[in-house]
Amino acid sequence: MALMVEEDEYIIPPLTGEPSLFPNPRLASDEGLLAYGGDLSSQRLIEAYKKGIFPWFSKGDPILWWSPNPRLLLLPNKFKVRKSFRRVLRSEKFSVSFDERFSDVIKYCALVPREGQNSTWIVDEMIEAYRHLYEEGYAHSVEVYKEGELVGGLYGVAYGKAFFGESMFSLVPDASKVAFKALSDVLGRRGYDFIDCQMKTDHMVSLGAEVVERDIFLDALEETIEKPTDLGSWQHFKWEYEDGK
């Protein structure tokens, strides 16, 4: 059985066979639904990210694979620090680590309520899959602490010199924004080309993310995945805010 997207007359195929066999994302509708089914094995997930595709589905649904048009990207040197947030960074009330509490971060991302959402897409199956990616050195987390307590963070996947952001959470104001700033600064120093924020949100745009056409994103992706991957733990990565940056 295949699903039909009438607007673009694109047949949504089921995934079968080798994990590397995905439809061409350039042919998907602007909405981006590309395929369904398959599994969340590490090999299939990495192949998806290398092609600009990511899974996104709700509990009880089949696995759905997406590559929307346009795409939202943040160039590491384009992060916008507004005056109010600069004061937060200068206060040094937050501290940051990398890859120390991945399981806690992804659990919080799944559990912390979000405005306008009644349920989470980070279902148990997704949590388990990304834990495997973390253990294999592809998935990474940023943790933000206040007075020694975990209060915010984010997680995503790195390949080549691209970082594919998946989700973030805050238990106190500004905590996830600090995580995103720390990630942007560290990746900028390490020569990363972009952070993929997937779909447009006003919040991400306010932080400097830019909307680009899918074809432009996929062209850039093809180049960056040929660059060396920072595989393994990122616990040795360090970040402190440098005033004025």
Q: Read off the pLDDT of each residue in 54-74 and give the average, rounded to a whole number.
A: 96
Q: How confident is the model at residue 45 (pLDDT cuts 50, 70, 90)?
A: very high
Q: Are 123 and 59 in contact (CB under 8 A)?
A: yes
- Higher pLDDT: 4 or 162? It is 162
Is the per-residue pLDDT at 117 higher than 90?
no
Q: What is the pTM of this model?
A: 0.93
Q: How many CB atoms lie within 10 A of CB 243?
A: 8
Is the per-residue pLDDT at 6 higher than 70?
no
Q: Read off the pLDDT of each residue in 105-131 and give the average, rounded to a whole number.
A: 84
Closest C-alpha among 193, 181, 186, 179 to residue 226 = 193
